[in-house]
């Protein structure tokens, strides 16, 4: 799923291409993509793009007359900039926003169509689409700690809850927690003041660094190969590969449709987090520590689906 760094770079590329331009037409390629009925598509066509902004992981096009187009790419949605009147790609093409000198094309790979477009009338309607999460890059430590304490969640769940924190998803939460040297499943209300400060600093550093890195990679062009698995990440998508800090094999727990990647030595004091499904299956054979795991000659006990992990620390 495109997260804050990806969305920011998308917005910067769109700013250069469509800000101040007239949206001539919207072509809808999938009936599942458009999720609103008022205003109709024809009502927003012919209006000028006044500004672009972000609501969490949503991209907002503000048009003349307080009309808004809100794009949520979800997991597999992506944006392309193509020539004027470009045909929608077969099977994956969701929509095209046509301008005089180009077309913003929305695609979504896979059979589960989750990406969405809402056309809205008025600022009040737009506000209802704002999850309300804290913008970490703009927040001081006190505001960060207040958001973290609003719900009793594990750190992994808290960071990816859009009502608590804006724009952070599965990939960058892994990177943030590794940078902060904290377990994904430590409870937020158990953090010490020092740990809270470390997590706040890690959030700001990781998001800022990856935004700058993706901006450099785009090089002024339109972003390509937007993915959750990027070269240079410390732990996300690096199951069984060495931790760049200590060299220990990266561990992974998969649960529901998410996963948590972590370094046991850097983040959990060498303790392996409990995968309930496999730990029940293996019983006494389940390794409890990284040392026990390494003594058996394995990089990781698990790579497959699991039930929700133990929310201890």
Q: What digits encode the pLDDT tens for the residues 24-78?
A: 999 999 989 999 999 999 999 999 999 999 999 999 999 999 999 999 999 999 9
Task: Read off the pLDDT of residues 141-152 as tens digits, 9 standing for 90 and up.
Answer: 999 999 999 999
Cα separation, 46 vs 64, whole angstroms: 9
Sequential pLDDT tens for the chain (313 residues):
899 999 999 999 999 999 999 999 999 999 899 999 999 999 999 999 999 999 999 999 999 999 999 999 999 999 999 999 999 999 999 999 999 999 999 999 988 889 999 999 999 999 999 999 999 999 999 999 999 999 999 999 999 999 999 999 999 999 999 999 999 999 999 999 999 999 999 999 999 999 999 999 999 899 988 988 899 999 999 999 999 999 999 999 887 677 899 999 999 999 998 765 544 444 444 445 555 545 545 445 544 433 333 333 3
Q: Which one, of 1, 3, 7, 2, lies nearest residue 75 by Cα?
A: 1
> Is-contact 65 44, C-beta < 8 A?
no
Pairing mode, if any, of strands 102-108 and 305-306?
unpaired
Q: What is the pLDDT of residue 100?
A: 97
* 3-class SS of residue 43: helix
> Is-contact 210 233, C-beta < 8 A?
no
Q: What is the pLDDT of residue 290?
A: 57
The encoded tokens of residue 244 equal 């760049």
> Is-contact 23 99, C-beta < 8 A?
yes
Q: What is the pLDDT of residue 288?
A: 55
Q: Phi-psi region for residue 220, left (φ > 0), alpha (ψ -120 to 50) or beta?
A: left
CATH 3.40.50.1000 applies to domain 136-306: no
What angle, 0 to 180 degrees and rounded to 10, lies between the N-to-C axes of helices 193-218 and 170-180? 130
What angle, 0 to 180 degrees and rounded to 10, lies between the N-to-C axes of helices 193-218 and 141-148? 100
Residue 80 CA to its chain's centroid (Å): 18
Please identify, in words, the CATH class of the domain defined by 4-127. Answer: alpha beta
Q: Which one, of 304, 312, 219, 237, lies nearest residue 271 by Cα?
A: 312
> Is-contact 73 54, C-beta < 8 A?
no
* SS percent in the chain: helix, strand, coil, step 5: 30, 25, 45
Q: CB-hemisphere CA count at 13 Å for 311?
A: 12
* 3-class SS of residue 267: helix
Residue extent(s) of CATH 1.10.8.50 domains in the chain: 136-306
Residue extent(s) of CATH 3.20.190.10 domains in the chain: 4-127
Whether the ω angle into residue 140 lies within 30 degrees of 0, i.e. cis, is no
Task: Output the CA–CA distances (angstroms, integers) from residue 222 to 104, 105, 253, in the order listed.
Answer: 10, 12, 34
Q: What is the pLDDT of residue 31?
A: 87
pTM of the model: 0.88
């Amino acid at each position: 799923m495109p997260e804050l760094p990806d969305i920011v770079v998308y917005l910067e590329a769109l700013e250069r291409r469509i800000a101040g331009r007239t949206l001539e037409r919207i072509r809808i390629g999938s009936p599942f993509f458009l999720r609103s009925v008022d205003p109709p598509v024809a009502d927003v066509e012919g209006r000028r793009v006044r500004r672009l902004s972000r609501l969490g992981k949503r991209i907002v096009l503000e048009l003349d007359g307080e009309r808004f187009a809100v794009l949520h790419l979800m997991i597999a949605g992506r944006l392309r900039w193509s020539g004027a009147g470009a045909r929608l790609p077969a099977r994956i093409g969701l929509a095209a926003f046509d301008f005089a000198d180009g077309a913003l094309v929305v695609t979504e790979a896979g059979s589960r169509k989750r990406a969405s477009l809402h056309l809205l009338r008025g600022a009040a309607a737009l506000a209802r689409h704002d999850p309300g999460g804290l913008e970490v890059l703009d927040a001081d430590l006190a505001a960060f700690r207040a958001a973290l304490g609003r719900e009793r969640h594990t750190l992994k769940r808290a960071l990816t809850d859009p009502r608590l924190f804006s724009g952070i998803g599965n990939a960058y939460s892994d990177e943030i927690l590794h940078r902060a040297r904290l377990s994904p499943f430590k409870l937020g209300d158990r953090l010490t003041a020092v740990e809270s400060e470390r997590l706040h600093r890690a959030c700001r550093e990781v998001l800022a660094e990856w935004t700058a890195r993706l901006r450099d990679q785009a090089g002024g062009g339109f972003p390509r190969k937007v993915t959750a698995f990027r070269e240079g990440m410390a732990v996300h998508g690096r199951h069984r590969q060495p931790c760049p800090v200590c060299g220990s094999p990266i561990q992974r727990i998969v649960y529901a449709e998410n996963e948590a990647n972590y370094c046991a030595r850097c983040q959990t004091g060498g303790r392996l987090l409990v995968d309930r499904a496999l730990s029940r299956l293996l019983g006494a054979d389940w390794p409890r520590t990284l040392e026990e795991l390494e003594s058996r000659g394995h990089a990781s006990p698990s790579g497959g689906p699991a039930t929700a992990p133990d929310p201890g620390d």
